[in-house]
Structure 1
Amino acid sequence: MSDALPGPLRQYADRHGLDSASLQAALDWQVLFWSGEQQAADRERWRRWLNADAEHRQAWDAVARMAGTLGTLSPQVARRTLERPSSVGRRRALGALAAVGVGSMLMLAGARGGFWQKAMADYRCARGEQQRFRLEDGSSLILNTASAVSVDFGQDRRRISLAPESEVALDTRSSTLKKAGPLSLALPAALLNVQGAWLTARDLGHGAGTVGVLAGGAQLVTAYPRQAAVTLNAGQQVHFDPDGLSVTPLSRQRALAWTRGVLQADRWRLADFLDELSRYRDGLLYCDDEVADLIVSGAYPLKDTDYVLESLARALPVAIHYRTPWLVRVAAV
Structure 2
Amino acid sequence: MTGHATEDHDAPVDPILETAVDWLLKTRACPHDERLRSSAIVWRAAHPAHEQAWRKAERVWKLTGALPGRPAAAAADTPARVVPLRRRRSLGRMVAVTAAVALAASVVVALLPTIELHLRADYVTARGEQRRITLEDGTLVILAADSAIRVAYGPSERRVELIGGDAFFTVAEDRSRPFAVTGDDLRVVDIGTAFAVGIDPEALDIGVESGAVHVAYAGAVPEGSPRDARLDPGGRLRIDRATGRFNQDRVQPAQIALWRDGLLVVENQSLGHVVAEIRRRYPGMIVVRDEALMARRVTGVYDLRNPEAALRTALLPHGGRVSTLTPYVLIVSGA
| Same fold per superposition (TM over 0.5) | yes
- The offset of 1:220, in angstroms, is 2.5
- Find the aligned partners of 2:208 and 2:185 in 1 and give their Cα distance: 18
- Find the aligned partners of 2:113 and 2:127 in 1 and give their Cα distance: 20
Cα deviations by residue, 1:215-268 (Å, 9 ceiling, x for unpaired): 322222333377864132221314153742314104456542201111224465
Q: Is the 8 A contact 2:155 2:177 kept in 1?
A: no
Which moves more between the two structures, 313-322 or 302-311?
Answer: 313-322
Matched, 1:194 2:206: no
| TM-score normalised according to structure 2 size | 0.58
- Find the aligned partners of 1:264 and 1:77 in 2 and give their Cα distance: 40
The 1:129/1:223 distance shift into structure 2, 3 A limit, reads same
- The aligned counterpart of 1:214 is 209
Q: Is the 8 A contact 1:238 1:248 kept in 2?
A: yes
Give the helix-richer structure, 1 or 2.
1
- Find the aligned partners of 2:280 and 2:145 in 1 and give their Cα distance: 7
- The offset of 1:189, in angstroms, is 2.3
3-state SS of paired residue (1:195): strand
Q: Map 1:97-176 to 2 at 5 A.
A: 100-102=107-109, 114-118=117-121, 121=122, 123-163=123-163, 165-172=164-171, 175-176=172-173
| TM-score normalised according to structure 1 size | 0.59
Q: Is the 8 A contact 2:201 2:241 kept in 1?
A: no
- The aligned counterpart of 2:261 is 260
What RMSD, in angstroms, separates the aligned Cα atoms of the two structures? 4.0
- The offset of 1:66, in angstroms, is 10
The 1:78/1:299 distance shift into structure 2, 3 A limit, reads farther
1:209 counterpart letter in structure 2: L
- Find the aligned partners of 1:97 and 1:251 in 2 and give their Cα distance: 43
- The aligned counterpart of 2:274 is 273
Q: Is the 8 A contact 2:159 2:182 kept in 1?
A: yes
Q: Is the 8 A contact 1:195 1:217 kept in 2?
A: yes
Aligned with 1:71 (options 23, 26, 41) = 26
Cα deviations by residue, 1:1-21 (Å, 9 ceiling, x for unpaired): xxxxxxxxxxxxxxxxxxxxx
3-state SS of paired residue (1:145): coil
Cα deviations by residue, 1:139-197 (Å, 9 ceiling, x for unpaired): 3211111112222334432111212x22111122xx242x2232111113222221202
- Find the aligned partners of 2:200 and 2:267 in 1 and give their Cα distance: 19
The 1:264/1:65 distance shift into structure 2, 3 A limit, reads same
Aligned with 1:232 (options 230, 233, 240) = 230
- Find the aligned partners of 1:311 and 1:149 in 2 and give their Cα distance: 31
Q: Is the 8 A contact 2:129 2:144 kept in 1?
A: yes
Q: Paired residues, what number?
A: 246
Unaligned runs of 5+ in 1: 1-63, 82-93
Q: Is the 8 A contact 2:131 2:144 kept in 1?
A: yes
3-state SS of paired residue (1:161): strand
The 1:126/1:321 distance shift into structure 2, 3 A limit, reads same
Aligned with 1:184 (options 156, 180, 183) = 180
2:206 counterpart letter in structure 1: V
